[in-house]
Structure 1
Amino acid sequence: MTDRPQTPLLDRVARPADLKQFSDAELHRLAAELRAETISAVSETGGHLGAGLGVVELTVALHAVFDTPRDKIIWDVSHQCYPHKILTGRRDRIRTLRQKDGLSGFTKRSESPFDPFGAAHSSTSISAALGFAVARDLGGVIPEGIGDAIAVIGDGAMSAGMAFEAMNNAGHLRKRMIVILNDNEMSIAPPVGALSSYLSRLYAEAPFQDLKAAAKGAVSLLPEPFREGAKRAKEMLKGMTVGGTLFEELGFSYLGPIDGHDLDQLLPVLRTIRQRATGPILLHVLTKKGKGYAHAEHAADKGHGVAKFDVVTGKQKKTPSNAPAYTKVFANALLDHAAEDDRICAVTAAMPDGTGLDLFAERYPSRVFDVGIAEQHGVTFSAGLAAAGMRPFCALYSTFLQRGYDQVVHDVAIQRLPVRFAIDRAGLVGADGATHAGAFDVAFLANLPGMVVMAAADEAELKHMVATAVAHDDGPIAFRYPRGEGTGVEMPERGEVLEIGKGRMIREGARVAILSFGTRLSEVETACEALGARGITPTVADARFAKPLDRALILDLAARHEALITIEEGAIGGFGSHVAQLLAEEGVFDTGLKYRSMVLPDIFIDQASPADMYAVAGLNASDIETKVLDVLGVARIGQRQA
């Protein structure tokens, strides 16, 4: 395409080894071309733009200095990996990012040997890198071999406890490995906590006011024996009030901070580390998220996640919708209740914007808490708030809640504390793929004694469930809702408190009953229209609750119909399994009831549009129609009835 950038040097790169042919001056120009290509590609696909732009020079330097895939570069979260993918033989597919049958938006082991470890959630890279380093020293054998292990982790991800657990272990083992702290002061939300303050002070003091000049002064020391260079860098840092002592106490040799956008600094530092390091090294680099693209640099989130956009104007091409987003419905409903109840407070883990709690923070800043990338702490913190008489709403994505499951069990459920879990991104989420699909929360929450589990069928139901959670003080309660816009139903002025464990009838019919849990209800309605043309009129009900079940409703549906079908946006072991347990205990199967449960299949579904993902899952309207016909023994068009 004529509007794509001219990239004569990048055109010569088929694999990272090709970077060895370039001079340092040419690597500077290559970085500029790589940045332009990244912007161009993401403008066509959407995705995580700012993070990748922030590590362009670092990506070039790492692949120029190290010998990948033998040397393992492990990107934490890995949403910053687009430039890495371009340099590692995937440039011809880079404009399929996050699309069906295209490249993943994250590193993925099955996609390339240059992706030694998959990611998508944060703070795992140091643990994985240590695993490679230990395996190397134990003689581990994989086809491409094992050389150096390099973890690239952001300052936001470094705030998670898992990162420190890994560093403590690595420092104890004294294995040669490299951790690059990519400090851009801009995780998805502004980093919080003592660590971020510590990192800020590292370069806010007078000796580092002119960061570039000071860093170059440190680099000039490095061609000397590494130990001497490290010693002098350490002494210079100790002239400040803090220095690198935190990391050194964990057993790492600390070097930095240096300018992560200056290849004249990065290349000699990395070359020296590669030549002389013997134990664990932490290199502290300072970068700017969205670097080199003004529209990303000036955005509040530095272009963290973008839709397709115009490269010249930066304007994103989003499809307008008349229906409100589920996340905003939750946030506004919670604000309405918080205005009347000062016990209501909110907790999130580094996702105030994504969960809608940025709106809460604007109005009630003293009652909202962003705990950073620390879901375990966030859950137990919420439990403490609840034990002290507050009404905490712990708002997390479904997949992020997985990280706090032990705390949900031990600190919340066993103590029957009334923590309200607002579970965003339930079900299949589209371009982020399997790593962000909210598939398992119903199964892992509904098996806990005393836990109430709800799923909203539409945005109006979500408003009712927020009201229900506010009023529920007898133990923990959770409600789940998907990403994106609602269905466009009429919204109530105020949410109603639902009776715990009671569903609702949607339509009366005959022969087959469909019991829906969650937003597949709209697909059920579409399927019923098609079935009506065949003279089949299913009964439809909205369960609302997976725990406790509406026993009376379920047993009534089973008694009045020859078949019962449940449908949900969750994995095996969830709502449908609980219904089956009830039917078995009550002996309903002995009466000849035909029971079917439509759930997410026992596979991880790759990225695509949500509709395409649900087609793979077999949970769209046509699949529901087919299931009804099959269970009733009705032949479909083009088939003979057996």
Structure 2
Amino acid sequence: MAEKPHTPLLDTVRTPADLRALPREQLRQLADELRTEVIDAVSCTGGHLGAGLGVVELTVALHAVFDTPHDRIIWDVGHQAYPHKILTGRRERIRTLRQKDGLSGFTRRAESEYDPFGAGHSSTSISAGLGMAVASEHLGTPRNVVAVIGDGAMSAGMAYEAMNNAGDMDARLVVILNDNDMSIAPPTGALRAYLAQLVSSPAYRGTRDAAKSIVSKLPKPLHEPARKTEEFARSFFTGGTLFEELGFYYVGPIDGHNLDHLLPVLDNVLEMEKGPILIHVVTKKGKGYAPAEDSADKYHGVSKFNVITGAQAKTPSNAPSYTSVFAETLIQEAKADPRVVAVTAAMPSGTGLDKFAELFPDRIYDVGIAEQHAVTFAAGLASEGMRPFCAIYSTFLQRAYDQVIHDVAIQGLPVRFAIDRAGFVGADGPTHAGNYDSAYLGAVPGIVQMAAADEAELRHMVATATAYDAGPISFRYPRGDGMGVDMPARGEILPIGKGRILRQGSTVALLSYGTRLGEVLAAADKLAALGFNPTIADARFMKPLDEDLIASLAGNHDVLITTEEGGLGGYGSHVATFLASNGLLDGKVRFRPLMIPDRFDEHSSQGDMYAAAGLDRAGIVATALKTLGYDDAAMKAALAQA
């Protein structure tokens, strides 16, 4: 086992109170050691690396100046918070990040009093922080509330909605814009740092307040010109007019890696009596680790890696990932049809569309972390005859539900929804689980819903979606690699609303929706070893349901079991509604839906999560035997035999 890094100063810091007891001249060394610890820890666990490395100095400065946990710090998004976790009593567990029963990869209220708000999705911090600040006023508990928003989170409209609201109030709110991508007004060294300190200083603010008092005595027609003059003079040197217009007192931009710049500004802000205030901090994603600095996108989220070389450990696979199959198939369709375009919300590489962009740079649109806009933008494209594919993770599509209904479905516009990361996502945990899209889209009239059983089926579904112009259509597929099936050269257009029977049997029918099909086939083999000959069917479609297939299975079998990688309200619920509504549960068939349980499951491996949900081969066999009347002892004996 490799030796842990040498961190003598960090070893003395167990809580932020220990940090605040250090002489400030030692904080540079502390930051260097903290960065080394983050790199070493993530190399062991995998996780989000670049964003955390970019906020090391900022994290140290915030805990040095603010009285945490009484003062609140909200990290947006939470994957910036690995250095924060190390400094707030969780260093001994930092190498359990994203592992079963280990630390979450995001901030989490239940994990620490230093995490006042959970943030797996982005752009929520200013809204939550404003609520906390207002609550502290109501409760008479003075405290500072700091929202650190960055890593693209300011591209989402919710952040500006919150700022617009906060700018109209006097709540004590500090927003730190962690600008780690493109500086709104690039810092220019010592002069910029000096100006930031100047405009945040008591002397400047005192002069400004005195000037305001003088202006108030002038005739009213001169008030607004005087305000504009002061604002222009300050923004000329410092930038930030947009934030000033939203009602924030703007400070910056400043170098987020220079503690000599950060600490005086934060000290000054601490003395300000009223908010809201925005501090513009410019950082470099991956700072201090050359591989991450050179390839910010590649090192945003990493698997385990070699600290010296930066090489990430990849488990070899004989099958392509579902994401890559989607991208390659979409490229095929785009070559044949110039109307095919792609839309993504800040996830070009995560959705595989970076490959599409290489060939069709004028036919891909990355709209930023703005899922609502992405969906309505795609609706506009579709309304003019284009064939847009809106590729968004299941967990993020939740954020655009109103747009799916109002802007797409009601108008019957043929937007194609490519829903990546369907089902459990493993180490990213409950905030990123794709458990709900089957249910929330299933309630929307007029949308076609498909789920790929394997990578070949995914290719067919991309082709089917391309050709479908009658309204919105979606297809879902999980994180990870396919099953290793033979791949067709081109996708085939599937008949809408029709499933397929893979094995014809009797007594037990196993009806799969999605990639649980591999486990269903394995479960069928185990049941065959016990003397049963189950029927295996792949639903392919949830909407419209293949009612003929379901009715046939229910009428010719004693047991009908559905499996899916979704929660309550999904495929099994739709099948149950159809069976009950048509009196098909009144006969001999016993129906059992297997789905993701109605709970939030903590992070673990995908395999462990599906096993705990009863959606692996053992769980499917156990459900079949129990439904057939086996008691616990008989079931245990049968499972041992199989």
Q: Normalised by the size of structure 1, how large is the TM-score?
A: 0.93
Q: Deviations over 1:573-610 (max 9, x none)?
A: 11001101111111011113200000100111111110
Correspondence list, 1:132-531, <5 A: 132-139=132-139, 147-154=143-150, 156-185=152-181, 199-200=183-184, 202-203=185-186, 208=187, 210-219=188-197, 222-225=200-203, 227-228=205-206, 237-239=234-236, 243-301=239-297, 303-531=299-527
- Structure 1 residues 470 and 302, CA, compared in 2 at 3 Å: closer, same or farther? closer
Distance 1:214 1:35, change over 3 A: same
Counterparts of 1:472 and 1:597, CA distance in 2 = 30
Q: CA deviation at 1:24?
A: 1.2
Please say if 1:637 is aligned against 2:636: yes
Structure 2 unpaired stretches of 5+: 210-228
Matched residue of 2:168: which SS?
A: helix
Q: 1:56 to 1:639 in 2, by over 3 A?
A: same
Equivalence for 1:90:
90
**1:554 has 2:550 as partner:** yes
Specify the code of the residue in structure 1 equivalent to 2:625: L
Give secondary structure in 2 for the equivalent of 1:366. coil
Cα distance in 1 for partners of 2:92, 2:481 equals 33
Q: 2:123: which partner in 1?
A: 123
What residue is the counterpart of 1:99 in the other structure?
99
Paired amino acid for 1:444:
Y
Secondary structure at the aligned position of 1:288 is classed as: coil
Question: Which residue in the other structure is 2:212 paired with?
Answer: none
Superposition deviation, residue 219 in structure 1: 2.4
Contact 2:285–2:296, Cα closer than 8 Å, also in 1: no
Deviations 1:393-419 (A, max 9, x none): 111000110000000001111111110
| CA–CA distance in structure 1, aligned partners of residues 584 and 207 of structure 2 | 77
Q: Mind listing any 5+ residue stretches in structure 1 that lack a counterpart?
A: 186-195
CA distance in 2, matches of 1:254, 1:228: 16
CA distance in 2, matches of 1:453, 1:110: 36
Greater alpha carbon shift after TM alignment, 567-576 vs 218-227: 218-227
Shift of residue 616, structure 1, vs aligned partner: 1.9
**C-alpha distance in 1 between matches for 2:451 and 2:381:** 24
Q: Which amino acid aligns with 2:430?
A: A
Q: Which residue of 1 aligns with 2:533?
A: 537
Cα shift at 1:639 = 8.5
Mapping of 1:599-610 within 5 angstroms? 599-610=595-606
Q: Is the 8 Å Cα contact of residues 414 and 468 (structure 2) preserved in structure 1? A: yes
Distance 1:230 1:528, change over 3 A: farther
Q: Distance in 1 between matches of 2:586 and 2:601?
A: 36
Residues 466-493 of structure 1, C-alpha deviations (whole Å, 9 max, x = no match): 0100111001100000011100000001
Counterpart CA distance in 2 for 1:236 and 1:70 is 36
Task: For residue 474 of structure 2, give the secondary structure of its aligned residue in structure 1.
Answer: strand
For 2:86, the aligned partner's letter is I
Aligned residue number for residue 70 of structure 1: 70
CA contact (8 A) 2:196 2:253 kept: no
Moved more, 270-279 or 622-631: 270-279
CA–CA separation in structure 1 for the residues paired with 2:298 and 2:312: 14
- Look up the SS of the partner of 1:138 in the other structure: helix
* Alpha-carbon separation, structure 2, partners of 1:111 and 1:476: 41
Which letter maps to 1:239? Answer: F
Show CA shifts across 1:500-540 (max 9, x none): 00000011111110100000000011111111111112111
Deviation at 1:123, TM superposition (A): 0.3
- RMSD (CA atoms): 1.8
Mapped to 2, the partners of 1:446 and 1:412 lie a distance apart of: 14
Deviation at 1:149?
0.7
Q: Does 1:622 align with 2:618?
A: yes
1:159-182 C-alpha deviation (Å, 9 max, x unpaired): 110000000000112211100000
Distance 2:138 2:524 in 1: 61
Match of 1:562, SS state, is: strand
- Per-residue CA deviations over 1:175-202 (Å, capped at 9, x if unaligned) read 11100000011xxxxxxxxxx6xx43x1
Residue 58 (structure 2) aligns with: 58
Once the 2 structures are TM-superposed, how far is the Cα of residue 329 of structure 1 from its aligned partner? 0.5
The answer to whether the 8 A contact 1:234-1:243 is kept is no
How far is 1:243 from its partner?
A: 2.0
Counterpart Cα distance in 2 of 1:169 and 1:8: 45
Q: State the 1:218 CA deviation.
A: 3.7
Q: Tell me the residue number matched to 1:3.
A: 3
Whether the aligned pair in 2 keeps the contact of 1:218 and 1:233 (CA below 8 Å) is: no
Q: Distance in 2 between matches of 1:493 and 1:513?
A: 31
| 8 A Cα contact 1:222 1:229, kept in partner | no
For the 8 Å contact 1:505–1:541, the answer to whether it is kept is yes
Does the CA contact (< 8 Å) of 1:155 and 1:181 recur in 2? no
Give TM-score scaled by structure 2 length.
0.93
Task: Check whether the contact 2:50–2:296 (CA below 8 A) recurs between aligned residues.
Answer: no
Q: Is the 8 A contact 1:234 1:244 kept in 2?
A: no
- Conserved? CA contact 2:51–2:151, under 8 Å: no
Q: Is the 8 A contact 1:230 1:254 kept in 2?
A: no
For 1:550 and 1:218, locate their aligned partners in 2 and report how far apart those are by CA, in whole Å.
Answer: 64
Asked if the contact 2:98–2:104 (Cα under 8 Å) also holds between the matched residues in 1, the reply is: yes
Q: C-alpha distance in 1, partners of 2:293/2:409?
A: 43
Tell me the SS of whatever aligns to 1:505: strand
Q: Distance in 1 between matches of 2:120 and 2:310?
A: 25
Q: Say whether the 8 Å CA contact 2:155–2:368 is kept in structure 1.
A: yes
Partner Cα separation in structure 2 for residue 409 and residue 222 of structure 1: 46
Once the 2 structures are TM-superposed, how far is the Cα of residue 364 of structure 1 from its aligned partner? 1.1
Quote how far apart the aligned CAs of 1:298 are. Answer: 1.0
The residue matched to 1:498 in structure 2 has which SS? coil
Measure how far apart 1:254 and its partner are: 0.2
Distance 2:37 2:512 in 1: 45
2:200–2:251 contact (8 Å) kept in structure 1: no
Work out whether residues 239 and 252 of structure 2, in 8 Å CA contact, stay in contact via their aligned partners in 1.
no
Identity of aligned residues (%): 63
Which amino acid is the alignment partner of residue 451 of structure 2? Answer: A
Residue 117 of structure 1, CA deviation: 0.1
Tell me the CA shift for residue 2 of structure 1. 5.9
